[in-house]
Amino acid sequence: MRSTSFFPALAALPLALAAAHAQAVELDVPSQRLDAALTDFAEQADVRLLYDAGLTRSSGSAPALKGDYSVAEGLQRLLQGSGLTFQIGTDGTVTLVPLSAEQGSVELGTTTISSLVEGRADLPSEYAGGQVARGANIGVLGNQDMQDTPFAFSSYTSDLIETRQAQTLADVLASDPGIRQSFGFGNFSQVFVVRGFQLFSDDISLNGLYGVLPRQIISTESVERVEVFKGANAFINGVGPGGSGVGGAINVVSKRAEDTPTRRATLDYASDARVGGHVDLGQRFGEDNRFGVRVNLAQREGETAVDEEHSRFSLATVGLDYRGERLRLAADLGYQKQRVNEGRSVVYLTTTGATSTLNGKTPSAPDSDQNYAQPWSWSQLEDSYGMFSAEYDLSPSWTAYLIAGGKYTRENGIYASNYVYGANGDARIGRLYSPLDQETLSAVTGLRGELATGPVSHRINLAANGIWQEKRNAFESTAVGSRGFGNLYQGYPVVEPLATTISGDLHDPDTTAKVQNKSLALSDTLGFYEDRVLLTLGVRRQTIGADAWSSATGARTSNYQESITTPAYGLVVKPTEYLSLYANRVESLQQGPTAPGAAINNGAMFAPYRSKQMEVGAKLDWGSFGGSLSLFRIEQPQGVLGGDGYYRVDAEQRNRGVELSLFGEPLNGLRLLSGVTWTEAELSGTAGGRDDGNQAVGVPQFQFNVGADWDVPGVNGLSLNGLLLRTGGQFVDTANEYSIPAWTRVDLGARYQTKLDGRAVTFNTVLENVADENYWASANGGYLTQGSPRTLKVSATVDF
């Protein structure tokens, strides 16, 4: 980076003063809030430091400083990513000032100090080890440091994505001990289970905006970070278009051009014969690198590790941004297409009827690479999306923002599903063809800022959200078993059956559903005792609207419109620099049910489901190693048809759990990312009390991860990594008569970074499911998702 002196006062310092500030000082400043770190630094370096306290109030935490640093070097490290720089007066006084676009660096004697950080100044800094970040975007609250937030969250960086060779969001989130993944109903969409509740891909946000990301499967080639919020989130993020996310939310952060140009190409291979390539190009232009462009192109095709399963994937994305003194703009445009032939789908159990011989026994999982799909089955997903964001600093303390975007989805496929009725794996084959067109528009606008009332600080946020979605679909299906019988273990092919039911125009589907969700949110985080006690109070008024029409007749089948207010309370107490205690009481919302036709009150619409969460926890930050412990309870109401024939919202699923996570670099060269989750998901108020006290479907009582990445001593650039996943048994039905056993998966990998002809080259290999275990990975949704077979992934990346 070009170095220029911009401070005449500094240039005019006497040589003796410049030499004094360039002299190394022994420092031992722990990682902590920036204002506390600056206080410790000034005392240890014996300098007079002046600044407005408002400048550091929202700057998050500073990295640890341990060793010999000059005053300038130490300040430069502490201020990285804070948006601040410093000036040194003729009397030696150091003053902090906001970093303007023209201030690129400070020159002190022979020492050049860069005031800009490479990469993303708008993102919270990485934690020790680089696999996680110490902060994340917490919806309406904006970017928050982990020690200042009364909620549990994780933020996974590009380093973890690259180390794991993650090609989809599921590959990244396999490292999260609180999340497990299953497939969608009858297809290959990735469904995530957070704190025992489903989160659909429709309800995953991009840069804080719902309704933009590709539907079903989300790739990672253009992803910088994956942020996971744990817990009910109606206030934090508003209601998503899919109505899921009771247990948590996921936000994807897109790549941006960095100050150093990006020229990177990757070739990859995955067993059995899947080959692909990825090109990542980034460049900044103009005065002070204000304009940035980031382009990602990817193509991947071939047979997967599942026998006869073939997939093809294409991606093209463009990220644009502008960073001015007060105005920041960004835009993302993307296109993604995926085709899967003979994809291994989920499995359903037929537990009743004269033909069923299961008798309470769930069939064991077939061989890990066994494909029980039909040769005529396929699925194709195509998404085009775009979004735009703008931020403008009205003053040093107040910022207005706007985010808007949309997407168009075209989904097609012929799905073959196995309905197993025999203990020997005998199954009836179902067939469904369901073309879908979906259009979504979404917008968020708001104002955030800071002020002080006496000794109390305030961080105020005001936001308005809106989502508009329209679905057009039709379908044709074949009655299960009317033609074609298969076997789970033999994979018998059957002739594609003819349709027995056709609904709608398959070539030009009519509108079948519309969603209109709107909300207004207001929050204030009050800081007491120099922000050692933080109290967050918030409220969101939400309107949930949904209309539906019959694809066969076009007649309106429902018209739902309800408004509800969801409060949020959060408290953080920091008794020491290393420990943060927190508690929260928040809610999630889902569209309320409509009484079914079998009920006396059929057609009656109910208010939105209001799921309530209470949580307490602690977060520990030792600078190089951290962790969190949380205890939570989530109560989700559910509808039930009573013995008197009336449908009511009287049932409940109550998930109580404990989460422990550990992360960081406790020893030089050893990075850890591990944790454990225990959940008791109890049902109550069920029909006739038959299932009261039972464990909810698809929720394991325990799951834990042990992940490690180790730099091999004596071999520069070589690191070994491993991930162990252990998941408890799960029930398939609410009666708890059918279940799947606990399972364990081990992944091992290695990465070697070197230079060839002066170019950085990285060789990466990961072997997933090393023992080639056969297991049912999930019973979530009441059906079975099989775990992936042993899969070898290798890649080579070169910077050119």
Mean pLDDT of the chain: 90
Cα–Cα nearest to 787, from 306, 339, 177? 306
CB under 8 Å to 405, separation ≥6 — which residues? 206, 209, 211, 212, 332, 385, 386, 387, 388, 441, 442, 443
Q: State residue 10's pLDDT score.
A: 33
Please check the confidence at residue 458 and state whether its pLDDT lies above 60.
yes
H or E element in which residue 171 lies = helix 169-173
Over residues 370-398, mean pLDDT: 96
Q: Which of 51-55, 158-162, 478-482, 756-760 has the lowest mean pLDDT?
A: 51-55
Q: State residue 97's pLDDT score.
A: 80
Please check the confidence at residue 36 and state whether its pLDDT lies above 90.
no
The Cα–Cα gap between 335 and 318 comes to 9
Q: State residue 87's pLDDT score.
A: 79
Q: State residue 5's pLDDT score.
A: 36
Q: State residue 186's pLDDT score.
A: 65
Does the structural domain 8-114 have CATH classification 3.20.20.80?
A: no
**Looking at this protein, which amino acid is placed at residue 80?**
Q
The Cα–Cα gap between 183 and 204 comes to 16
Q: Which of 53-62, 605-614, 722-731, 791-800 has the lowest mean pLDDT?
A: 53-62
How distant, in Å, are the alpha carbons of 117, 290, 450, 492, 624 from that of 101?
A: 13, 8, 22, 66, 32
Q: Which CATH number does the domain 262-799 belong to among 3.40.50.720, 3.30.360.10, 2.40.170.20, 2.102.10.10?
A: 2.40.170.20
Calculate helix-pair angle for 15-22, 71-78, nearest 10 degrees.
60
Q: Domain segments of the chain: what residues?
A: 8-114, 135-254, 262-799
303, 276 Cβ separation under 8 angstroms: no
Tell me how long the chain is.
Answer: 800
DSSP secondary structure string for all residues of 261-310:
-EEEEEEEEETEEEEEEEEEEEEEESGGG-EEEEEEEEEEEEEESSTT-E
The Cα–Cα gap between 620 and 631 comes to 15
Please give the share of the chain, as a percent, with pLDDT higher than 70: 92
Over residues 454-458, mean pLDDT: 96
Q: How confident is the model at residue 23 (pLDDT cuts 50, 70, 90)?
A: low
pLDDT digits (tens, 9 = 90+) for 359-381: 999 999 999 999 999 999 999 99
The b/e string for 211-247 (b: 16+ C-beta within 10 A; e otherwise) is bbbbbbbbbbbbbbbbbbbbbbbbbbbbbbbbbbbbb
786, 775 Cβ separation under 8 angstroms: yes
The Cα–Cα gap between 560 and 763 comes to 54
Q: How confident is the model at residue 270 (pLDDT cuts 50, 70, 90)?
A: very high
Please check the confidence at residue 117 and state whether its pLDDT lies above 50.
no
Q: State residue 24's pLDDT score.
A: 73
Superfamily of domain 135-254: TonB-dependent receptor, plug domain (2.170.130.10)
693, 774 Cβ separation under 8 angstroms: no
Over residues 539-544, mean pLDDT: 96
Extended strands (E) in 57-120: 61-62, 65-69, 84-88, 94-98, 105-108, 111-114
The Cα–Cα gap between 229 and 137 comes to 9
CB under 8 Å to 354, separation ≥6 — which residues? none
